[in-house]
Each structure stands twice: as structure tokens, then as C-alpha cells.
Amino acid sequence: MEKLNVLVTGGTRGIGAGIVRALAGAGHHVAFCGRGEAEKYSAVAADLETEFKIKAAYYQCDVSSRDDHARLLDSFLADFGNLDALVNNAGVAPEVRADLLEMTPESFDRVMNINLKGPFFLTQLAAKKIKANPNGKFHAVVNIGSVSAEYASINRGEYCLSKAAVAMATKLWAVRLADEGIAVYELRPGVIRSDMTGPVTEKYDKMIANGLTLQKRWGLPEDIGKAVKMLLSGTLAYSTGQVIQIDGGLTVERF
């Protein structure tokens, strides 16, 4: 497998940490970013280097900040030389799961800025960096979406809207970046055990037991990590713009 230099946003915990570990385990050089303290997560990066014999780094970054985008990519390029793949994973749920009639503009803006605006403009800048320094390797952008792009949840409407928009952003970037040799994919996780789903664990335990998913278990961060690893291997290189559901069969229509 070709070894790539990969940047993963929101890679400190949950799905993001699962992705980082899967890529490091495959031999890719990987950097991850988040809002956590640099000392703590730089130590995590050092542990990855020791365990997997790859280059790893952590950068503090707020993905909703355009200024942080520039600093993030400048730091990455200074450390790794070139960027081969971007995984847009960073995302948040609303701080308060409010009914649509009670949703606030502040909550809407926060979720959209982090889940949509941030990755959209980071992709824009990253694509320019890749275009400026082609190296003959496989280049890709992977957006981590959600089944909430299609499933309406009226107590977290801003999250659903953000993920529906990410789905269109994936199509837009796939069209625009095809001639630049950059493949673009979307992964749609279903019910994944993480900090985000922690507050509703009991609810989903019951729903899964009652047949919510065909595979009667929670999805795990490593399930998403394996899918990203597969995409960056080039196995689906002739499939740009495609959506892959990682949901245990949740979205399969049934009678």
C-alpha cells in the first residue's frame, strides 16, 4: 500500500481517534488536530510514532476559524512536506437537544460553522495546496457525514441540516476536484459509540436490541477507521463522489 501523508480533523477522540489509529496502523504518516491541549495530544502522537514506526503530529485548531486553517496547513506542510489526503471528521452535536420550535440562532450557527463551513473551506485550501505540489500519489478528501443527512431528528435539526449540506459539499468537491486528480468520498456513520452518543446510550441500546440495525450492535470508531483506511488505499479510486453507509444496515429499507 502506498504510504500517504494524511491530515485528520477532530482526531483526539471517538471516531476521529479511531481513524487516526487505523491509518497509523496501515503505515500512513498522520497528523490530527483538535481543540485539546497540545502537550497531552502531542504525547499521543509520539506514542503512535513509537508503536507504528510512522511520523505523527498533533496541532491545536478550531476548524470553524479560517485563520486556524492557514496555520494548520502551514504547520502540516512544514512537518510533512506535502499533503496527500484530508479527512474532514471534526463535528459537533447541539449543546442542547431542543425541539425545532425552540432551536436558537446561536446553536444553529455554532453547528453549521463547525460541521459545514469549517470543512468546506478547509477542503478549499487543502485542495489548493495539493494542486500546487502534485507528487504522483493518490490524493483524496474523505468527509465524515452521518445518516442524519437523510433521517430527520427534530430535537437536533441543526445537526441534520449540517450533515445534509456536507452530502452536497461532497458532490460539489467531487465534480470540481476530479480534473485535479483528487477523489472525494463521504462516509455516513450510523449509531456509533462515542462521546456524542453517550447521553443517549440507554435509548439506543433499546432501539438496537429491538431491530434498529440489521447487525445488532453499536458501531465503533474502528469501524469508521477501517473504512477510511480502505478508501485511502486506492481500492475505490474509480468511485469519486460516492457515499458509503457505515451503519450496520440501519438505512436498509424493510417491510
Positions marked active-site: 159
Task: Yes or no: say if 48 and 21 are a contact pair by the CB < 8 Å rule.
Answer: yes
Q: Using H for helix, E for strand and C for coil, what is the string for 88-131?
A: ECCCCCCCCCCCHHHCCHHHHHHHHHHHHHHHHHHHHHHHHHHH
Task: Yes or no: say if 204 and 190 are a contact pair by the CB < 8 Å rule.
Answer: no
Distance, CA of 135 to CA of 82 (rounded, Å): 8
> Quick one: cell of 46?
509520539
What does the DSSP 8-state code read for residue 72? H
Q: At 11, phi and psi to the nearest 5?
A: -95, 15
Q: In terms of Cα–Cα distance, which of 144, 22, 14, 140 is closest to 89?
A: 144
> Quick one: cell of 234?
486506492
Sheet containing 5-9: which strands, arranged edge to edge? Answer: 56-60, 29-34, 5-9, 85-88, 139-144, 182-189, 243-246
Q: In terms of Cα–Cα distance, which of 182, 171, 221 is closest to 10?
A: 221
